[in-house]
Amino acid sequence: MKIYFIQSTPYYEGRKLIKKSRLYFVGLAPAILASLVPDCEFECCLETIEDVNFDSDADIIAISGMGHAVVRSIDIAKEFKKRGKTVVMGGYMASLMPKEAKKYCDSVIIGDGEIAFPKLVSDYKKGCLQEFYDIPLQTLSYPLPKYEIFKGKKIGDFLPVQAGRGCPNSCSFCSVYCLYKNRYMRREISEVIRDIKYIKELGYKKFLLLDDNILSDREYILKLCEEIGKLNMTWLSQCEISIADDEEVLKAVAESGCISLSFGIESISQESLNAMHKSWAKVSRYSEQIRKIQAAGIDVSTEMVIGADGDTVESIRNTADFITENKITVPRFYILTPIPGTVFYEEMKNAGRLVTDDIYRFNGAFAVHKPKNMSSETLTEEYWKLYKKVFSLKSIVKRTILRQDFLRHPFKNLFYFYVNLYYKYQISKGITPNII
């Protein structure tokens, strides 16, 4: 039996596919799923760097995608269905709107796939495939991911390892909250270390620690860092910016080999954070916290959204200055989007503030709701102005070259300079820079 897994790529400018010569951030899902069905032939297509083989002889076509790539996932599903294939879909977006996804496929996995996917495959063999598989996990554990499926593909110099899943926070726009409702599951440290050691055996010196919030369990991250530190590896991850306020944890993370952290700081407007149910984050402390993290030797990447109720044209424009002044190496922005299934979507729908219900336009680069302090058209316009200012040559140089640590780490900072230039090129083409 053969399974063909496709990690779809997003569209830009209508139906143009985002393509890259190399994919740095590789999703972990295909490697986990392959390990769960060892008796099946498992082929993986990373569409950002590969073309989908619509003539595949696979028995099951399994499709997933990050964020608004779900739109492309639906189109892929439609094409395979035309060819008479059995198609299944999964991932965050399909999980948030399973009934919509089901219109285009035979079955949808909602949420976690560790139990659901093997059952789906078993049911297929028996001829009793169900429309939906919603089997939440009680504990987070799975076999060694089949990282070999990435062999020969044009990917970056690191592979993903998962520590935890879920988050204790309740941000209104967040898909993680919608799926896990404040639940946070962590893997046994021995299992995480097993995966890291195997990645090292494969010849990698770096890994991406996947966790929706590594600060969710303080004692756990301290113990994990102690074990990671023994492996002589470097790593990247994401967490709350409040890690800056815990000197012991920040030191442990840095000393264990962490070189970069991504923070969802969302906005420089406290009113906007409060409206997004993220009042625990304090804009007034952002600069101080960023400096502490950078002083620990950890580079700072940020994810921000614009268009919340506290945002104004002035605050959006001031965001560019904030990024440059704080020397954020890799900043990314998205228009606050009411993803179907999220609290924010229900808020906007009930308030009559949705501009369109066409999910093909829910791409994070086009305003689909009416902001409080500007028109949706103005929000879209200011979004692209923000990106162009942040990725102007002047800002890029200030953030990556004119740094106190440049002479100590010239190659690292030159790498960030190159990344920013590539993002600048993407923006000129109307492509929103992202991690895929």
pLDDT in tens, 317-349: 999 999 999 999 999 999 998 887 788 888 999
- Do 414 and 322 reside in the same domain of the chain? yes
Count: domains in the chain: 2
Task: Name 128's Cβ contacts closer than 8 Å, sequence gap at least 6.
Answer: none
Query: Is beta strand 159-162 parallel, antiparallel or unpaired with respect to 206-210?
Result: parallel
Residue 170 pLDDT greater than 70, yes or no: no
pLDDT in tens, 257-304: 999 999 999 999 999 999 888 888 899 999 999 999 999 999 999 999
Cα–Cα distance, 292 to 277 (Å, whole number): 25
User: In one letter, which amino acid is 348?
Assistant: M
Give the up-direction half-sphere exposure of residue 202: CA atoms within 13 A in the CB hemisphere. 21
- Do 91 and 176 reside in the same domain of the chain? no
Of 133, 168, 201, the domain-final residue: 133
CATH number of domain containing 91? 3.40.50.280
Note whether residue 205 is domain-resident.
Answer: yes
Note whether residue 149 is domain-resident.
Answer: no
* Tokens representing residue 104 in the block: 């285009």
Cα–Cα distance, 299 to 342 (Å, whole number): 31
Asked if 247 and 270 count as a contact pair (C-beta separation under 8 A), the reply is no
φ, ψ for residue 347, nearest 5 deg? -60, -45
Asked if 276 and 172 count as a contact pair (C-beta separation under 8 A), the reply is yes
- Do 126 and 271 reside in the same domain of the chain? no
- Do 174 and 274 reside in the same domain of the chain? yes
Asked if 287 and 326 count as a contact pair (C-beta separation under 8 A), the reply is yes
- Do 406 and 365 reside in the same domain of the chain? yes
Note whether residue 28 is domain-resident.
Answer: yes
Residue 436 pLDDT greater than 60, yes or no: no
- Do 358 and 423 reside in the same domain of the chain? yes
- Do 251 and 364 reside in the same domain of the chain? yes
CA quadruple 387, 282, 402, 425: dihedral, nearest 10: -20
Q: Which residues of 386-425 are buried (b: 16+ CB within 10 A; e: fewer)?
A: bbebbbeeebbeebbeebeeeeeeeebbeebbebbeebbe
- Do 239 and 338 reside in the same domain of the chain? yes
- Do 69 and 121 reside in the same domain of the chain? yes
Note whether residue 33 is domain-resident.
Answer: yes
pLDDT in tens, 107-162: 999 999 999 999 999 999 999 999 999 999 999 999 999 999 999 999 999 999 99
Note whether residue 304 is domain-resident.
Answer: yes
- The reported pLDDT for the residue numbered 279 is 87
Q: How far is CA 85 from CA 36, 93, 283, in A?
A: 22, 22, 50
Closest CA to 335 of 377, 304, 358: 304
Note whether residue 193 is domain-resident.
Answer: yes
pTM value is 0.92
Residue 257's domain comprises 157-428
CATH number of domain containing 314? 3.80.30.20
Q: Which residues of 40-58 are buried (b: 16+ CB within 10 A; e: fewer)?
A: bebbbbbbbbbebeeebeb
DSSP 311-345: --HHHHHHHHHHHHHTT-SEEEEEE----TTSHHH
* Tokens representing residue 180 in the block: 């896990």
Cα–Cα distance, 117 to 230 (Å, whole number): 34
Assign 359 a pLDDT band (cuts: 50, 70, 90): confident
Note whether residue 151 is domain-resident.
Answer: no
Task: Name 357's Cβ contacts closer than 8 Å, sequence gap at least 6.
Answer: none
Task: Name 127's Cβ contacts closer than 8 Å, sequence gap at least 6.
Answer: none
* Tokens representing residue 114 in the block: 């560790």
pLDDT in tens, 398-430: 999 999 889 888 999 999 999 999 999 999 988
- Do 288 and 395 reside in the same domain of the chain? yes
User: In one letter, which amino acid is 91?
Assistant: G
pLDDT in tens, 383-395: 999 999 999 999 9
* Tokens representing residue 368 in the block: 């689909």
- Do 177 and 213 reside in the same domain of the chain? yes
Note whether residue 148 is domain-resident.
Answer: no
End-to-end CA distance of the chain: 29
Query: Is beta strand 164-166 parallel, antiparallel or unpaired with respect to 184-186?
Result: antiparallel
- Do 204 and 277 reside in the same domain of the chain? yes
